[in-house]
């Protein structure tokens, strides 16, 4: 039944008032679009804040970033020994070394990944791209093979890394990016002392033989292996005792340590890193590494060396004499790390 003309006008007027007051919408029930979540950077304090990945839209750029994040978290599911896409890696996940999907500061945080590449790296002796760097990790830390650089998966991983660092200016490293650098010990790192630290603090998660805790479904690890064929190989940056010590100091044990409240002392971190680094693991050769041996950090244990110190000292220290020698003999001193 049609409403009387005057009553119809009154109803229309009320509806218009409700819309004007914000109680209605002309979008047929769909809410207005939310701002795209973006990580932020404060240049005054040099601090970076991650965005909430749960707010990423499930279309377009948001979907690609979310897929890249999933690949980062569940690398083994997609590229492990039983990978859904291909069998390219040892079963570890990217976030085993870059905690909390790469957003935990001081724990190999990736806030500076996008701002660092393209960039020159002395290890390769050339300007590297993000794609090159991702595949470097696949071959070293994952002890595997490269991801197809033109694949959707690589595009997604790069999109995720660029999203994390989108607000960070090129060549800027926010506080908490990468790994902290611990002061050198005035002695060599001690593997026997490190074995004691490992047995008392690390076994409950990583196992007595460093084998880690595999997931029941076979898709990676709850806690990763620290040596053996399923861990990072001897060409990985984590083999360097200084790098591993900085990671362990502020990130382990995983369920208790933070940068503000570490669980281990510096000496414990150096010693347990030395013990882990001393254990057997897969070996892989990259003959083009360090084309200028004068640019090798003090704790690269594989020769040749541009100094008279032994491979053992390059592995465990003390590192100060090596640094001092290099600084005295070079125009551009080699700095730690």
pLDDT bucket at 218, cuts 50 / 70 / 90: confident
pLDDT bucket at 272, cuts 50 / 70 / 90: very high
Residues in CB range of 41: below 8 A, 6 or more apart: 47, 48, 49, 167, 168, 169, 172, 174
pLDDT bucket at 35, cuts 50 / 70 / 90: very high
Rounded CA Rg of the chain: 25
| SS3 state of residue 162 | helix
- DSSP one-letter code for 178: B
Calculate the average pLDDT of the chain. 90
What pLDDT does 247 receive? 98
Distance CA 192, CA 25 (A): 70
Q: How far is CA 196 from the centre of its chain?
A: 28
Q: Are 303 and 309 in contact (CB under 8 A)?
A: no
Distance CA 54, CA 313 (A): 47
What pLDDT does 31 receive? 42
pLDDT in tens, 236-258: 999 999 999 999 999 999 999 99
Domains in the chain, CATH or no CATH each: 40-164 (1.10.760.10), 191-329 (1.10.760.10)
pLDDT in tens, 175-210: 999 999 999 999 999 999 999 999 999 999 999 999
Q: At residue 70, does pLDDT exceed 50? A: yes
What pLDDT does 330 receive? 58
∠120-121-123 over CA atoms, to 5°?
150
Distance CA 259, CA 105 (A): 8
Cα–Cα distances in Å, from 171 out to 82, 160, 168, 279? 38, 18, 8, 35
Q: At residue 296, does pLDDT exceed 60? A: yes
Number of H helices, E strands in the chain: 13, 6
Closest of 69, 82, 214 to residue 156, by C-alpha: 69
Task: Give percent of the chain with pLDDT exceeding 70.
Answer: 88
Q: Are 211 and 287 in contact (CB under 8 A)?
A: no
Q: At residue 20, does pLDDT exceed 60? A: no
Cα–Cα distances in Å, from 245 out to 75, 132, 200, 284? 24, 26, 17, 22
Q: What kind and span of H or E run contains 240?
A: none
- Give the predicted TM-score (pTM) of the model: 0.86
Can you say whether the dihedral through the CA atoms of 158, 161, 167, 168 is positive or negative?
Answer: negative
What pLDDT does 238 receive? 96
Q: At residue 60, does pLDDT exceed 70? A: yes
pLDDT in tens, 115-153: 999 999 999 999 999 999 999 999 999 999 999 999 999
Q: At residue 16, does pLDDT exceed 60? A: no
Distance CA 173, CA 116 (A): 8
């Amino acid at each position: 039944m049609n409403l009387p003309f005057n009553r119809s006008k009154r109803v229309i007027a009320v509806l218009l008032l409700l819309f004007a007051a914000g109680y209605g919408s002309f979008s047929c029930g769909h809410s207005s679009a939310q701002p795209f979540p973006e990580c932020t950077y404060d240049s005054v304090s040099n601090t970076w804040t991650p965005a909430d990945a749960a707010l990423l839209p499930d279309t377009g750029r948001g979907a690609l970033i979310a897929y890249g994040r999933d690949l980062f978290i569940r690398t083994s599911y997609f590229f492990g020994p039983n990978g859904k896409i291909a069998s390219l890696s040892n079963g570890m996940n990217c976030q085993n070394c870059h905690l909390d999907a790469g957003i935990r500061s001081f724990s190999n945080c990736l806030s500076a990944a996008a701002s660092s590449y393209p960039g020159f790296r002395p290890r390769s002796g050339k300007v590297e791209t993000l794609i090159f760097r991702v595949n470097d990790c696949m071959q070293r830390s994952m002890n595997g093979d490269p991801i197809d650089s033109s694949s959707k998966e690589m595009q997604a991983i790069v999109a995720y890394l660029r999203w994390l660092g989108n607000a960070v200016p090129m060549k800027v490293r926010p506080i908490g990016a990468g790994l902290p650098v611990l002061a050198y010990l005035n002695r060599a790192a001690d593997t026997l002392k490190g074995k004691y630290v490992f047995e008392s603090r690390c076994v409950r998660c990583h196992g007595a033989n460093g084998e880690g805790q595999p997931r029941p479904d076979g898709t990676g690890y709850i806690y990763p292996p620290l040596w053996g064929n399923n861990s990072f190989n001897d060409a990985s940056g984590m083999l360097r005792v200084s790098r591993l010590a900085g990671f362990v100091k502020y990130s382990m044990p995983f369920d208790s340590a933070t940068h503000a409240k570490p669980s281990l002392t510096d000496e414990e971190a150096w010693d347990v890193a030395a013990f882990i680094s001393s254990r057997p693991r897969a070996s892989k050769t990259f003959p083009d590494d360090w084309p200028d041996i004068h640019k090798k950090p003090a704790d690269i244990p594989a020769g040749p060396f541009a100094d008279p110190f032994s491979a053992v000292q390059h592995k465990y220290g003390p590192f100060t004499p090596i640094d001092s020698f290099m600084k005295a003999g070079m125009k551009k001193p080699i700095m730690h790390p």
